[in-house]
A and B are shown apart, each in its own frame.
Chain A
Amino acid sequence: MTPARPWLRHWRDRWHAANSIQRRASQSAFFGWGIYLAMTVSLLIAAISVNNTLNFTEQNVLFVSRQPIFLPILINTIITSVYLAMVSTLAVSSERDQGTLETLLQGPVDGFAFILGNFMAQIKVYAALALVAFVWSNVLTYLLHLRYSIGVAVVLVVSLAAVSVVIAFGMFVAMWGGRSRTALIYFTLITLLVVGIQLADQIVVGVVISQNPSVNDPLVTVRNVLGVANGIVKWISPYSQLDLAMNAQVDRAYPAFFTHIGVMLGQAVVFLLGSVWLLERKGVRD
Chain B
Amino acid sequence: MIETRNLTRRFGRFKAVDDLSLRLEPGEIYALLGPNGAGKTTTISMILGTLTPTSGEVLIFGKRLAEDPFAIKRRIGVVAESQAFYPRMTAWEYLIFFAELYRAEDGAERAEHLLKQVELWDWRQGLIGQFSAGMRRKLGFVRGLLHSPEVLILDEPVANLDPYGILQVRAILQEERALGRAILISSHILSEVEQTVDRVGIISKGRLIIEDNMKNLRQLVGGQRRIEVELVELADGLVDFLEDLPFVTEVHADRTNLTVFTLEDRDYRSDLGRVLSEQGAIVQGMRAHEASLEEAFVTITEQHIRQWAGEMGHDAG
Contacts and interface: CB of A to CB of B under 8 A. Distances in A.
Interface in B261-300: none
B151 to A, nearest CB: 12
A271 B14 CA distance: 35
B51 A110 contact: no
B127 to A, nearest CB: 10
Contacts of A105: 49-50
Interface stretch (A94-102, A120-128, A174-182, A240-248): A94-102
Interface in A95-123: 98-100, 102-110
Contact of B97 (A1, A3, A20): A20
A27 B92 CA distance: 14
Interface centre among A13, A14, A16, A23 (most CB of B within 10 A): A13
B175 to A, nearest CB: 22
Contacts of A3: 52, 66
A210 interface: no
A16 B73 CA distance: 14
Contacts of A282: none
Given A24-B86, A105-B50, A107-B78, A10 B70 contact: yes
A3 B52 CA distance: 7
A216 interface: no
Contacts of A28: 86, 88-89
Contacts of A13: 70-71
Contacts of B51: 1, 283
Contacts of A108: 69-71, 73-74, 101-103
Contacts, number: 82
Interface in A29-47: 31-32
B308 interface: no
Given A28-B88, A32-B88, A283-B51, A2 B69 contact: yes
B132 interface: no
Contacts of A16: 103
A5 interface: yes
Contacts of A102: 50, 80, 84
B65 interface: yes
B50 A1 contact: yes
16 contacts: A1-B49, A2-B52, A3-B66, A10-B69, A16-B103, A27-B93, A28-B89, A99-B83, A103-B83, A105-B50, A106-B80, A107-B74, A108-B69, A108-B70, A108-B101, A108-B102
Contacts of B48: 106
Interface residues of A, number: 31
A20 B65 contact: no
Interface in B109-161: none
A104 to B, nearest CB: 8
Interface of A: 1-3, 5, 10, 13-14, 16-17, 20-21, 23-24, 27-28, 31-32, 98-100, 102-110, 283-284
B82 A99 contact: yes
Contacts of A24: 86, 89, 93, 97
B143 to A, nearest CB: 9
B61 interface: no
Given A3-B52, A109-B101, A283-B50, A98 B84 contact: yes
Contacts of B68: 10
B247 interface: no
B101 A20 contact: yes
Interface centre among B51, B66, B73 (most CB of A within 10 A): B73
A109 B93 CA distance: 18
Contacts of B71: 13, 108
A202 to B, nearest CB: 41
Given A2-B69, A13-B70, A99 B88 contact: no
Contacts of A10: 68-70
A31 to B, nearest CB: 7
